[in-house]
Amino acid sequence: MTMSASALLEPGFLTSGAVQTALVVGAIAAIVSGVVGVFTVIRGQSFAGHALSDIGTAGGSAAFLVGVPTLYGFIVFNVMAAGVMELIGIRKARGRDLATGIVLGACLGLAALFLYEDTIHSSTTGAAVNVLFGSIFTLPPGITTVMACLGMASLGLIVLLYRPLLLSSISHEVAAARGVPVRLVGTGYLLALALAVSMSAVTVGAILSTALLVAPAATALRLSKRTSSAVLVAAGTGVLACWLGTLIAYDTTDWFNGNGWPVSFCIVVVLFLGYLLAGAVATVREKHRTRGTFTDRTTTVGEVV
């Protein structure tokens, strides 16, 4: 048992302060992203989640430029962008994508400017690497408290809006007919999404934060027919992927003479393999399913009504 553990865990993995911070931050970000991600997939707003992660690049690079933690830059820009996207109009899918694209284009231009200024002032490419690909092993221990507070705020919004959010995610028209304030619910969801994307951007970088948001949720929805159970599966899948990816990245440090694989790459690979495995499980289960089973959509509606 001891030999098996020592073969899997390189010396110092569980006692390293940097690794401990990475495991805690990764778990918090994964739980929040998994819960919010399930609604993102159901609502068909994966593009909005990806756009917010790209938009956050401008905030992260601006924060790097003025010397404050990149997390705060991600949050400020993502929350502002979510508000602008809601003001422009997201009632219809076409208008929603158009609004998202307009805000995304403007913020990518700002990101290019800020990253250029970062490079000029620091004479390194550190800003681009930290913002785009993450640097979870270099995060200060104090960030765990901030992440926990942000996580509770995001999850609190989802818990508060759970039933009307689920109904409006399935059918905007039915929700409106039942008196659900869909615009207000949508705004609350976008705020929760902005926080989740900001937290995942710190964990795996702005470029790959969409993977932590969407992949666990898509995996869970392949395995579970009920939203409530899918939320739990998505959160657990994300945490497992973050911890396993962190372990692989740490272990590869000795494989390549001190130049291990990036953590974000390892996490995303685990998420991708998990999604493929869930697809295989779903296919096998589908072959054994008897006729007359309710469809996913009907089951989910029944959960709300």
Q: In this predicted model, what pLDDT tens digit does every residue of 240-296 receive, in sequence order? A: 999 999 999 888 877 766 677 888 889 999 999 999 999 999 888 888 776 555 455
Q: Look at residue 301 and tell me whether its pLDDT is greater than 80.
A: no
Mean pLDDT, range 136-156, rounded to an integer: 89
DSSP state of 135: -
pLDDT reported for residue 305: 42
Residue 252 and residue 8 in contact, taking contact as beta carbons nearer than 8 Å: no
User: Whole-model pTM?
Assistant: 0.84
CA distance 15 to 9: 11
- CA dihedral for 247, 250, 256, 259, sign (positive or negative): positive
3-class SS of residue 256 = coil
Q: Look at residue 136 and tell me whether its pLDDT is greater than 90.
A: no
Mean pLDDT, range 117-124, rounded to an integer: 71
DSSP labels, 271-303: HHHHHHHHHHHHHHHHHTPPTTPPPHHHHHHHH
Domain borders along the chain are 17-296
pLDDT digits 0-9 by tens, 261-272: 888 889 999 999
Tell whether domain 17-296 is in CATH 3.50.50.60. Answer: no
pLDDT reported for residue 119: 78
Tokens standing for residue 159: 């818990």
Residue 29 and residue 201 in contact, taking contact as beta carbons nearer than 8 Å: no
Tokens standing for residue 25: 């931050």
3-class SS of residue 201 = helix
Comparing 198 with 99, which gets the higher pLDDT? 198
Q: Look at residue 88 and tell me whether its pLDDT is greater than 80.
A: no
Number of residues that make up the chain: 305
pLDDT reported for residue 145: 92
Q: How confident is the model at residue 302 (pLDDT cuts 50, 70, 90)?
A: very low
Tokens standing for residue 31: 């739980």
pLDDT reported for residue 291: 59
pLDDT digits 0-9 by tens, 65-82: 888 888 888 899 888 888
Q: What are the CB-based long-range contacts (under 8 Å, 24+) for 6-11?
A: 8/247, 8/251, 9/247, 9/251, 10/250, 10/251, 10/253, 10/254
Q: Which residue has the tokens 């508000």?
A: 83
Tokens standing for residue 91: 């009632």
Residues near 212 by beta carbon (within 8 Å), at least 6 away in sequence:
29, 30, 33, 37, 200, 203, 204, 238, 241, 242, 267, 268, 271
